[in-house]
Structure 1
């Protein structure tokens, strides 16, 4: 009991300080954990392929050009996705009807042969809407018919697709982000039209 007749006041103050300190430390630990989780980025890996499209190095010399497709050509492309994280990272496609992961995860340089895009999309049983990428590994991400259903492209125009929306789960924390890739351009022209053939004449296959 204190001299002023108010027992427990000192103990109450000490408890308040202790609770405050614990709360601050917990917030700092949570912030550090979130920052560590957010450091797990996903990016294009070491390989990409689109043998069904028309590549270019002349008429469209920009670095972000991947391939051009006529509106009546099926868009089928594939790139590998990597993570620089030191721990496994789960990546989930937010548009699984368009972007699907190969179930097999490989390390660069292993010489693994992927499904050939010129044969069309891979079998559904061989893909999944999510994949876990271990450190130092890459997963193949398939891109099939990326335009929204009902989307039309005006004749003479082109519409580009250059991002895959994904959800990354790292250290138990999930966040939405995108995987950027070189642009796949869909023309509003048919493949047998004179206008589209004229466009192809300006392309230089690499």
Structure 2
């Protein structure tokens, strides 16, 4: 009887883990295929199954926000952070999602914590720049975007963000240089949309 109980318990645990693993994998696959609704359903199944692996919280934070439930995504990420304190993956997405929700000060606080922890991800500086723009701190935003580009010089979109901040600060020569660099790199990388955007931004400086 004890042996049978042990076998049944093993089957129950194994089946539960397999279900959770399948749900997480399915959520990931659907997310990268652009099927956000299906990804949302699958990552919700993983959460409801009690799966507390890091990637469940991480992908839930991403998918819930893209599905339009950014507030809920932040709650999930901080639940994950109780289990994985100071995890940089979770903190990065939490910082980004605070910004998406217009909670710039909270987002900046999280991102500054990451920088203090020694994080070297260019996105952390980019998001900190975004938060600073939201707070009207354009000088800080310029600094963060420049640091992001030091870590990842190929980020066309960050050059455009930098140019826009410099334009707001009336640093038109610097802004033109940033947009010109964005245009050059967009052409090199064959990113048509950003090529057009950089051209548009440069034309907007013609009278300055």
TM-score greater than 0.5 by the shorter chain: no
Larger radius of gyration: 1
- Higher helix proportion (structure 1 or 2): 2
Larger % of strand: which? 1
TM-score by length of 2: 0.30
